[in-house]
């Protein structure tokens, strides 16, 4: 990105704005949303970074180990389930967010919070495309988190060496 410093600088500002906590959408939930979004799009780089960030921002071990059972696992609240379902649907191409999902989301989150949730999903939409297309080299710490928490689901470094 630094080949075009204006892009890098704009991205840093966007990242800071999106990941800044404004209320009930926690740092942990933002990282779990980013992970789920990255998994849907298939970016191994972002999967490893976001699961590592979720670890570092206080995700419970039970959530990390059971992220793909979030719809039924007791480690996730109904509000978290709605947010993670939103992440899955909004990360699909074409977008799979429908009226029913919007209604369900609004049971738990207000408009400001939904903007925060979608900000994370959209930010990682950019990062997933960028890092996967550029085959960005994955750092050792993120590789370790990927191997520890994601390998059992088929995660591998792939082209990000």
Instruction: Give the separation between CA 109 and CA 36, rounded to whole angstroms.
Output: 18
| Nearest CA among 121, 117, 157 for reference residue 139 | 157
The pLDDT of residue 103 is 97
Indicate if the pLDDT at residue 153 is higher than 90. Answer: no
Instruction: Delineate the domains of the chain, giving CATH numbers in brackets.
Output: 26-153 (1.20.1290.10)
Q: What is the pLDDT of residue 119?
A: 98
pTM, 2 dp? 0.93
Which pLDDT score is estimated for 22?
85
Q: What is the per-residue pLDDT across 91-144, written as a single tens digit (0 to 9) for each?
A: 999 999 999 999 999 999 999 999 999 999 999 999 999 999 999 999 999 999
Report the C-alpha gap between 136 and 161 in whole angstroms.
8
Q: How many CB atoms lie within 10 A of CB 136?
A: 18
């Amino acid at each position: 990105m630094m080949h075009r410093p204006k892009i890098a600088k704009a991205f840093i500002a966007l990242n800071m704005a999106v990941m800044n906590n404004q209320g009930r959408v926690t740092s942990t939930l933002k990282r779990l949303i980013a992970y789920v979004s990255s998994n849907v799009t298939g970016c191994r780089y972002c999967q490893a970074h976001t699961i590592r960030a979720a670890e570092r921002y206080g995700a419970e071990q039970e959530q990390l180990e059971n992220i793909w059972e979030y719809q039924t696992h007791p480690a996730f609240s109904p509000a978290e389930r709605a947010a993670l379902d939103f992440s899955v649907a909004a990360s699909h191409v074409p977008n799979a967010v429908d009226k029913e999902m919007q209604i369900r989301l609004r049971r738990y989150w207000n408009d400001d919070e939904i903007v925060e949730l979608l900000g994370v999903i959209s930010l990682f939409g950019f990062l997933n495309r960028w890092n996967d297309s550029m085959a960005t080299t994955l750092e050792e710490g993120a590789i370790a988190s990927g191997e520890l928490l994601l390998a059992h689901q088929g995660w591998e470094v792939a082209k990000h060496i």
